[in-house]
Homo-oligomer: A and B are copies of this chain.
Amino acid sequence: MGNPVKFYEKEVNKIENKFSVLFKGRKPKSLYEPCSFIMQSGGKRLRPFLVVISNYAVSGRLSGAYNAAAAVELLHNFTLVHDDIMDNADKRRGRPTLHIKYNLSTAILAGDNLIGLAYEYLLKDCKDNDKKVLQTFTKGMIEVCEGQSMDTDFESQKKVTIPEYDLMISKKTAALAEMCCSIGAQIGGGNNIEIKALADYGKYLGMAFQYQDDLLDIMGDETEFGKTVGGDLVAGKKTYLFLRALEKAKGPQKTALQKVIKNKGIRRNQVKKYREIYVDLGVLVDAQKEIKKYTDKALKSLNKLTNHEAKEILIWLANALIKRNK
């Protein structure tokens, strides 16, 4: 088996190889070139890896789930393409977003097609009785749409509670990670206890991941993280940090935070000031506690698994995500 890092790298390499031939021989070029462009934009390939490792965790075999791994990355990339349109984003990982590189119509259609392709590849790894796999996948897809819609609602919603925020990220981020682990385990022939254990792992990992993302936005090193520090504040996003700060703040700090809502964001040169408010109110520490809470839940759910090698890798992965700086 070797160490987890090597395992991860080897599997991601296999996944990348799979991705490189996904659209081979397909036409029209006007549709598949943009599909290919977005799929080749790199990233951690976390979701397909969750499929592969969950499959391995229940079956002990590394096979049979690479098409499903491709399916979840295709689905994830559909969300990126359409979200970038909605967010008016020009760049993604240093490259132009699809609606900028091509045009709006092409980006919408490429995103749509990625959904169809996701199902096509998922079906390749489904046995005749794998109706549940498809139901799980579809549930994940719908939840992502619902979560994105809630996220958009938050922009114009004056009051958002932390439970509402948690519900939104559980749909927008955690549902997909949960789905990845669940379908990996289902395709591997896991029993219901194993499927539930891995699905829970994915869900809690997804929650921790999103909290970590919110934290990195304000804490991250600009060059490492690849995004502008404080971008969420500049955009006036109602993240956990912001909502928690609003909950705790009094007096002038409260007024300053309310201004972010009123003005739908802040100027770049105000980021430092708001970071100080966050530090002062202890919300960065609160977020770290939440991350630890969710990570602990993810790790605890692994107790039900018997494959020790896979467990070791899943533990490493959860910890690596906490320690990440981008």
Contact = CB atoms under 8 A, between A and B. Distances in A.
A43 interface: no
B30 A153 contact: yes
Nearest to A128: B129
Given A108-B108, A123-B134, A129-B129, A28 B150 contact: yes
A139 B26 CA distance: 13
Contacts of A116: 138, 141-142, 145
B113 A115 contact: no
Q: How many copies of this chain?
A: 2
A105 B113 CA distance: 18
Interface residues of A, number: 41
Interface of A: 27-28, 30-31, 78, 82, 85-86, 104-106, 108-109, 111-113, 115-117, 119-120, 123, 126-131, 134-135, 138-139, 141-142, 145-146, 148-150, 152-153
23 contacts: A30-B149, A30-B150, A30-B152, A31-B145, A31-B149, A82-B108, A82-B109, A82-B112, A106-B149, A111-B112, A116-B142, A117-B142, A119-B141, A120-B135, A120-B138, A120-B139, A123-B131, A123-B135, A123-B138, A126-B131, A128-B129, A130-B131, A134-B134
Given A78-B112, A113-B149, A116-B142, 10 more contacts: A28-B149, A30-B149, A85-B108, A109-B148, A111-B112, A112-B112, A112-B145, A119-B141, A120-B142, A123-B138
